[in-house]
Each structure stands twice: as C-alpha cells, then as structure tokens.
A and B are shown apart, each in its own frame.
Chain A
Amino acid sequence: MNWFKNLNATPRLMSSFGVLLLLTLGIGALAIVNLGRANDRVQELYQKDMQGVILIGNVASARLDLAKQDRDAMINVDDSVRMNADVAAVNADFATMASNLQEAEQCFDTNEGKAMLAEMRQTLPPYEKAVDAVDQATVAHDLPRAKANLLALTSLAAQMNSQIDHTLKHKQSVAQDKFQANSQAYRFARLLLIAACALSLVLGLILSIVIARGFALPLGQAVAVLENVAAGDLTVRLDVDTKDEVGRMAMALNSAVEKLNNTLQQVADSAANASSSSQQLAAASQAIASGAQEQAASLEETSASLEQISAAVRLSADNARKASELASGAHNSSEHGHEGTSAVAAMADISTASAKISEIISTVDEIAFQTNLLAVNAAVEAARAGDEGRGFAVVASEVRILAQRSAGSAKEIKGLIQDSLRKVERGSELVNRVTVLVGEIALTSGEQSTGIEQVNTAMTQMDQVTQSNSAQTEELSATAESLSEQAAQLMELISTFTLNQDGRNQRERQSFQPHVASFAAPTQQRGPVRTTAKAVRGVVAAKPEAPAARTKRLKTRQPALAVAIPVGSAADDSSFENF
C-alpha cells in the first residue's frame, strides 16, 4: 500500500472517492437493472397474466351472462322485447367472448396456454351454435326445443366452463410461477445489493480510515511536534515514511525544527563564548587593576628614592661649586687672613717671575752667542793671519771657552727654570684638572638634577597613566559585567528550550551560571580580585568534570560545580600569577 501512501492528497482522495463512486455506480446500476427486471416481470404479470385472467374472466362472465341471458330469454319468451334483448345480449356476450379470446391471444405465450386458448376457440363456435339453436328455438317460441337444446349444450357449456377454468387456473399457476420467480429474483437482487452495499460500506470505511489516518495521523503528529516545539522541546522529530504532501510537510517541519535547534545551539555556544570572554575580560581587568596598584606603589617607592637621590645630587653639586670657587680663588677665606692665597694666583706669580728670569737668561744666552760668534770670527781672522795671529787665536779660543761656559750656565739655569716651570705647570695642570673635574662634577650634578627632574616628570605622568588605567579598568570591569549579564540572560532564554543532546552546551551552561555575581567592585581591593580569578580558574579546571552531568536536562540548572568555586580563603598568589 506504499504506493498509495506515497500519492499526493488530491490523487489519493480522488482515487478513493472514485472507487467509492464506482461502487455506488455499480450498486446503482445493479439496483436499476434489477428494478427494471422486476418492473418487467410485474409488467408481464399485469399485461399478460392479469390481463389474461381478466380477459378469460370476461369470457367466463360473458359465458355466464349469456347462459343467464339464454335462460332469461326462455323465461321472457312471452315478453318479446326482453326476449330479444336477452338474445341480443347473448350474441353480445358471444361477441365479447370472441373478442376477449382474441385479445387474450397475446396474453398467452406458453404453448400450453396457447393450446388452451385454441381449445376454447375451438369450443366456442359449436357452443355458440348450440346456444344459438336454443335462442332460435326460444325466439320461435319453441320452448321444449329450446329446453332440449339447452340440455344438449350442457356438456358443451361444461366443456367451455372447464376450459375456461383450466385456462384460468393455468394462468393463475403461470402467474404464481412468475410471481415466485420474481420473488426469487427479488431476493437474489436484494442479497446482491446488500452485499454490494456492505462491500462498498466496508471499502468506504477502509478507505476513509486509511485516508483519514493518512492525513489525520501525520497532522496529529505534526501538531504534537509543533506543540512540543512551542513548549520549548526542540529534540522532537516527525517520522517521515511517505512522499506525499504530508511526508514533505513532515520533512519540512523536521528541517525547520532542526534548523531552529541548530541555530539556538549556536546561539547558546556564542552566548557561552561571550560569557567566557567576559570572564576573561573581567579577569584581565582585575589583573590590570592590581598591576596598576602595584605600579602605583612602586611609583611611590621610586619617588621616595628619587627624592633621596635628588638631595644627594644637590649636596654634591653644592660641594663641587665650593671646590670650584676654591680652585678659582673666588672664595674669600677669612681664616687665612690674607688675600691671593689661591693656587692659581700663586702659580701665576711663579710664572711671571719665571718669565722674567727666562728673559734675563735669554739675554745672557744671546750675549754668549754673540760672544761666540765674535770669538769664531776672531779665530777665523787669526787663522787667516797665520803665524801672527796665533796669539790672537789663543785669546779667541779662550773667549770662546768663556762664551761657551756662560752659554752652558745659561742653559743650566734655563733648564732649572724650565724644570721649575714644568713643575709649576704640572701643579697648575693638576689644579686645572681638578678644577675641570670639579666643573664636570658640577655639570654632571646639574645634569643629574635635570635628569631627576625629568624622571620626576615621567613618574608624575606614569602616576597619571596609572590612575587613568585604574579608571579604565573599572569601566572595563563594568563592561565585562554587563556583557556577562547579557550572556547569562541569553543563556537563560535558550535554556527554556530543550535542544539536542550536546554535552558541551549543557556543561558550559552549567558552568557559567553562578559567575554573574562575581563581578562586583573589581578594583577596590585585591582580595576579591584574586578570589574571583581563582574562582574562574577553578571553573576552568572544573570543565573536564562536567561530562558526568551530560545526561541532565537543561531545566535543572543548579550545577554540581558550586563545589568548585572557592570563595575567599584559599587564594594563593602563584596560581593567580599563572592565570
């Protein structure tokens, strides 16, 4: 019957109705045919048999009448009028009998009937003749002859009578036979019709049931599924076993519910993700907040250290300045009692004296040189003079020696002076170096001060940044909190639906429920920060435990994970850092 079930509604209904119509048609045809037949039989009964009986009855009554009239005529022998009337009546009756017999010809179809009619018709003329003889006798007022003729036709009459009776009886039996045949046929037809009716009834019932079930059942199922879906259960599906419109409707419904299911599942997943993201966001903002706090504390410490450094630098700068003044002689020392005690001034004095001595020495040097020259000149002249110049040469050489001696002494003194100058220079160089170093120290201190100033400024900025970080973190926490709330709302909405069993969905929904409340006051203290972090981490760690809860329906939302959330006490720093 599958092909039937796979028909579309219209063909199916139409074929079913068609079948029923055909059956009805059949029954109708059957009834009509049988009614027609019955009618034919009745017609036959009436036209042939009843008419035949009537006609033969007419013949019988006509015969009786003529017999009566015949006797009346004899009675009314004296009354000619009546007698003639009676005779006429007799003739009339014979005519009637003849005509009726004639008419009855067509009412008798059987050979027997026809034979009887033929017999009657055969009997009639002699009978008529015999009666006529009586009538004639009567008319002739020959009563004894009339009576004798009358008695003579008794057998004929009896014959006529019996023939008529026979015929009537025959007709009657024929009619009866026909009637019985009719009855039988009627019964048979009735049976047939009843059977047909029953068949069509049964068929109709079956078809109607099948069709009704074919539509109503799936519709009912669809209604049930839709009601379930309306109630939130998205796991129900229809069985699809036909390819007709109902089957297609079932498939469409299935796919619609499936899509709904999947979509809601995805929404649930997304909500779960959003929830976890907001968790992470909250945790991160907590981390930032605590980091900012630590940073602020560090900044304070650094600030204090900077203060110290600054004081030390100022001190060293001061000292450097003093040393510099000391080196350059600007410091007027009242303890020593006289002015110009600076190293530079002293060295300047030494330099001046040395310069003067150098001048004198160079003069001496020059003199020695010139003397030498003169001596050489003298030697040259002496050499050119030959013998005469020998004494002169000696003198010249002595002079040269003297000149060399004085040059030598001058050189020595120059050396000594240079030595002392060098020493002075070294001293002044050292002092200069010291001054330079002190100057550098002063400069460096200045730079250090500037640097410290800059560091201060930077720290102030960092402080501001830290504060703004804190503010931002608070906002971030608030945002994360609102996000989490919304995600939780979403999850609640979705949890009113029963979705296809997916452990992940269930588990996550169970996990993230309680954490909506943990976002209060994120930047106030460190304690809640850490516990929340630990809580979240506890949840993260507890995820693998949840598969056991997979079989739970979503409606029961109080999870077993309440155990996994340590509130307050056991917050250890290392875990927080790792998180």
Chain B
Amino acid sequence: MKQLAEKQIQDSQQFLTFLLDDQEYGLEIFKIREIRGYAPITPIPNVPPHVRGVMNLRGTVLPVVDLRMKFRLPAVEYNKFTVIVIATVGEKTVGLLVDAVSDVLMVSNDAMREAPDFGAAVDTRFINGVFQSKERLTVALNLEELLTECDLAAAEPVAA
C-alpha cells in the first residue's frame, strides 16, 4: 500500500477536504483510512482536552481527537451529521472529529502554495501548504506534526 502511494506521487496528489469551522482543510488521501458518521465516544480520564475519548471501530479501539479543540476553535454541538475521519498517523490510527467532509480532490503540485503564517489558529508546522479549490483556500494539514506523541499516548498502537 505504501509503495502504491509513493507511486502515485508524481505531479499531483489527492486530498480529502473537510470542513472545520467553515474553513476547508485537506488531508492526503493515503493517510485516510475511512470516513464515518458520528459514533458514540467513550471519554478517557487524564487526557488532553482535545482528546475526546475512544471509539469502537469494528472491534478496534481508537482515540478520537477533536480538531476544533486542537485548533482552539470554538466548540460546537456534535450531531449525527458530524463526521469522524479515521486517519493513519505513523503506525497509529486516530479518529478526527470534523464538521463535515467536502470532497476528494486532485491537486497538482503546482497548485500547492507555501503556507503563510495564520497566526494562532494553526501553527505553520502543521501545515504542508495551501491550495485553491472552488475559490477557497484549503489548508493541507501535516498530521504527524499535528498529533504529538502525548496525543497519541492514549491510543493503542494498532497495526493498520
């Protein structure tokens, strides 16, 4: 699978875009394992606040990270339209709470731009770059930098 993914990286990449507080973010498609609707989350004590808890995905227990909280965005009520993006970070799998998923996009490398400094919302080391889609700037996220070890400490290292 990884080899296939490297093969794909020629002059474009595919991104899954999702919506977070009316801002589009993008994740590399190969990082995405699955997209699910909202599922019950079991809270875990003594974890950072943006780690909402854990969820059961067909027998697998993964941590669920609230990207809103991570990005220090105002919290919203999560309903049945909330989407959980199951992503792979290194060897660990994690669920990301997002508002909604938008699209799967093919973005050429030319279209990718360097990330400017957004300020407090997103730390620039989390951002691989920005690209334009449908007259909106989408932020390409760097999940590895985004989710530190301590975030993932709650998660069981599960083999993909």
Task: Give the interface of A toward B (CB within 8 A).
Answer: 366, 369-370, 372-373, 376-377, 379-380, 383-386
A384 touches B30 (CB 8 A): yes
* A365 nearest in chain B by CB position: B81
B29 touches A376 (CB 8 A): no
Whether B47 sits at the interface, judged by CB under 8 Å, is no
Given A366-B80, A373-B83, A373-B101, are A383 and B35 also a contact pair (CB < 8 Å)? no
A377 touches B29 (CB 8 A): no
Q: Please give the distance in Å from B108's CB to the nearest CB on chain A.
A: 15
B4 touches A376 (CB 8 A): no
Q: Cβ of B34: which chain A residues have Cβ within 8 Å of it?
A: 377, 380
A380 touches B37 (CB 8 A): no
Which one, B1, B35, B81, contacts A380 given CB within 8 A?
Answer: B35
A376 touches B35 (CB 8 A): yes
Q: Cβ of A376: which chain B residues have Cβ within 8 Å of it?
A: 16, 35, 101, 103-104
Q: Please give the distance in Å from A404's CB to the nearest CB on chain B.
A: 10
A369 touches B29 (CB 8 A): no
Contact with A along B1-39 (1 / 0, CB 8 A): 100110110000010100000000000011011111100
B104 touches A379 (CB 8 A): yes
Docked pose: A11 CA to B5 CA in angstroms: 167
- Interface centre among A372, A380, A384, A386, by most B CB within 10 Å? A380
Q: Please give the distance in Å from B57's CB to the nearest CB on chain A.
A: 13
A380 touches B104 (CB 8 A): yes
Docked pose: A182 CA to B109 CA in angstroms: 202
A373 touches B35 (CB 8 A): yes
Q: Cβ of A386: which chain B residues have Cβ within 8 Å of it?
A: 4, 7-8
Q: Cβ of A370: which chain B residues have Cβ within 8 Å of it?
A: 37
Q: Please give the distance in Å from A219's CB to the nearest CB on chain B.
A: 127
Q: List 5 A-B contacts (CB under 8 A).
A: A373-B37, A373-B83, A373-B101, A379-B104, A384-B29
Q: Cβ of B16: which chain A residues have Cβ within 8 Å of it?
A: 376, 380
* B102 nearest in chain A by CB position: A376
Docked pose: A380 CA to B16 CA in angstroms: 8
Q: Cβ of B36: which chain A residues have Cβ within 8 Å of it?
A: 373
- Interface centre among A377, A379, A383, A386, by most B CB within 10 Å? A383
Docked pose: A250 CA to B81 CA in angstroms: 132
Which one, A372, A373, A380, A384, contacts B4 given CB within 8 A?
Answer: A384
A383 touches B80 (CB 8 A): no
* A382 nearest in chain B by CB position: B104
- Interface centre among B33, B35, B81, B83, by most A CB within 10 Å? B35
Q: Cβ of A380: which chain B residues have Cβ within 8 Å of it?
A: 16, 29, 32-35, 104
Docked pose: A504 CA to B8 CA in angstroms: 134
- Interface centre among A373, A376, A377, by most B CB within 10 Å? A376
Docked pose: A377 CA to B16 CA in angstroms: 10
* B14 nearest in chain A by CB position: A383
B35 touches A384 (CB 8 A): no
* A372 nearest in chain B by CB position: B101
Q: Cβ of B7: which chain A residues have Cβ within 8 Å of it?
A: 386
Docked pose: A370 CA to B35 CA in angstroms: 10
Which one, A369, A377, A383, contacts B81 given CB within 8 A?
Answer: A369
Contact with A along B87-118 (1 / 0, CB 8 A): 00000000000000101100000000000000
Docked pose: A385 CA to B80 CA in angstroms: 29
10 more CB-based (< 8 A) A-B contacts, given A376-B101, A380-B35: A369-B81, A373-B36, A380-B16, A380-B29, A383-B8, A383-B104, A384-B1, A384-B4, A385-B4, A386-B4
Q: Please give the distance in Å from A376's CB to the nearest CB on chain B.
A: 5
* B18 nearest in chain A by CB position: A376
Docked pose: A156 CA to B30 CA in angstroms: 239
B104 touches A369 (CB 8 A): no
Q: Cβ of B101: which chain A residues have Cβ within 8 Å of it?
A: 372-373, 376
Docked pose: A384 CA to B36 CA in angstroms: 17
A369 touches B35 (CB 8 A): no
Docked pose: A370 CA to B7 CA in angstroms: 31
Docked pose: A377 CA to B34 CA in angstroms: 6
In chain B, positions 31-80 with a C-beta closer than 8 Å to chain A are: 32-37, 80
* B80 nearest in chain A by CB position: A366
* A393 nearest in chain B by CB position: B104
The 4 closest A-B pairs by CB, nearest first: A379-B104, A383-B29, A383-B14, A380-B32
* B16 nearest in chain A by CB position: A380
A369 touches B37 (CB 8 A): yes
* B29 nearest in chain A by CB position: A383
Docked pose: A386 CA to B35 CA in angstroms: 18
Docked pose: A370 CA to B101 CA in angstroms: 11
* B17 nearest in chain A by CB position: A376
* A377 nearest in chain B by CB position: B35
Docked pose: A370 CA to B83 CA in angstroms: 10
Docked pose: A373 CA to B81 CA in angstroms: 10
Q: Cβ of A377: which chain B residues have Cβ within 8 Å of it?
A: 34-35
- Interface centre among B5, B36, B101, by most A CB within 10 Å? B101
Docked pose: A384 CA to B103 CA in angstroms: 15
Docked pose: A45 CA to B14 CA in angstroms: 209
A384 touches B5 (CB 8 A): yes
Q: Cβ of A385: which chain B residues have Cβ within 8 Å of it?
A: 4
Q: Please give the distance in Å from B64's CB to the nearest CB on chain A.
A: 16
Docked pose: A386 CA to B13 CA in angstroms: 11
Q: Please give the distance in Å from B75's CB to the nearest CB on chain A.
A: 22
Docked pose: A379 CA to B17 CA in angstroms: 12
Docked pose: A257 CA to B35 CA in angstroms: 133
Docked pose: A369 CA to B79 CA in angstroms: 13
Q: Cβ of B35: which chain A residues have Cβ within 8 Å of it?
A: 373, 376-377, 380
Q: Please give the distance in Å from A63's CB to the nearest CB on chain B.
A: 204
Docked pose: A385 CA to B4 CA in angstroms: 8
Q: Cβ of A384: which chain B residues have Cβ within 8 Å of it?
A: 1, 4-5, 29-30
Q: Please give the distance in Å from B101's CB to the nearest CB on chain A.
A: 5
Docked pose: A70 CA to B17 CA in angstroms: 234
* B81 nearest in chain A by CB position: A369
* A362 nearest in chain B by CB position: B80
